[in-house]
Amino acid sequence: MENYPAPARALVAQMTAAAIAEPARGVAFQGAPGANSHIAVLEAFPDALPMPCFGFEDAIDSVRDGIVDRAMIPIENSLHGRVADIHFLLPESGLWIIDEHFLRIRHCLLGRSGETIVEAMSHPQALGQCRHWLRTRGIKPIAYPDTAAAAAAVAANPQPGVAAIAPALAGELYGLDLLAEAISDSDDNTTRFVVLARDPIEPEVNGPVMTTITFEVKNIPAALFKAMGGFATNGVNMTKLESYQRGASFAATEFFADIEGRPSDANVARALEELAFHSKWVRLLGTYRQARPRLVTEG
């Protein structure tokens, strides 16, 4: 908590104490109060007690250690792709994905009315998503580890002409004026979050569900092609397949995938069985309701 700017610390302490007192309602998130992750928790769980954590590992550990029952972690963004390191953290966490949530990102310029803004502080991704807006106004981007924490820093250390790019909620929490809103260069800026828990939960919905897996194929020719064949022949829609390499090795490639359906579905079970035959290992990360339809294009 000592790493947060001063205006955020009291809020962090208050929110943390409330979540710890009622773990079943507690939902950990990464970032300072007012961050997009904070907003995602409020949208997905209106009755939850959001608990700020400085890093992704801290949020994951709070669930693994039983401090709170759930965590909400961003996994990918429509403009910038997957969130850094999350593909390593999820499999190693020992937690299960039990839900997903999509949040529309609305960047705002927060500061003090009447000033000519010459610098804007924010997370590098937020700055990148607003770079054209900033450039046309001659505002210099300044990188900061967190969007909401940048707003707290501007509130804590007033400097003429310095503002923050953060959600409007951060401005409300830290007493900053809303100088401009909807400043993203793209109107369809959306982040996908997943909800983590210590135990898997079988989705009760009758509608579409997602299953997330990680795997490493055998080091033989056409292993990935053969492993993927089972999904095609069994009619299982794979909505995401991303590769990543662990450590300094360029030999062992691991994969992160989302598929539609449950492992208990006959066609999914057959596809996973074929995947396992061509892989060194396959790990299920969770089955959960589909919060947004995945479009299947033909032709």
Asked if 240 contacts 255 with a C-beta cutoff of 8 angstroms, the reply is no
Tracing tokens 């989705």 back to the chain, one arrives at 203
Cα–Cα distance, 187 to 166 (Å, whole number) = 16
Beta bridge partners of 49: 26
Cα–Cα distance, 116 to 179 (Å, whole number) = 10
SS3 283: strand
Which amino acid, one-letter code, is at 43?
E
- What distance lies between CA 23 and its chain's CA centroid? 21
Tracing tokens 């993927």 back to the chain, one arrives at 228
**Quick one: three-class SS letters along 170-219?**
HHHHHCCEEEEECCCCCCCCEEEEEEEECCCCCCCCCCCEEEEEEEEECC
For the record, the structure tokens of 224 come out as 């990935």
Active site residues: 191, 193
| Residues in contact with 72: Cβ distance below 8 Å, sequence separation at least 6, in sequence order | 27, 28, 29, 37, 40, 41, 44, 59, 101, 193, 194, 195, 196
Closest CA to 99 of 73, 124, 125: 73
CA 94 → CA 64, 190, 202, 285, 286, distances in Å? Answer: 8, 27, 17, 9, 11
Tracing tokens 């210590």 back to the chain, one arrives at 198
Cα–Cα distance, 191 to 109 (Å, whole number) = 19
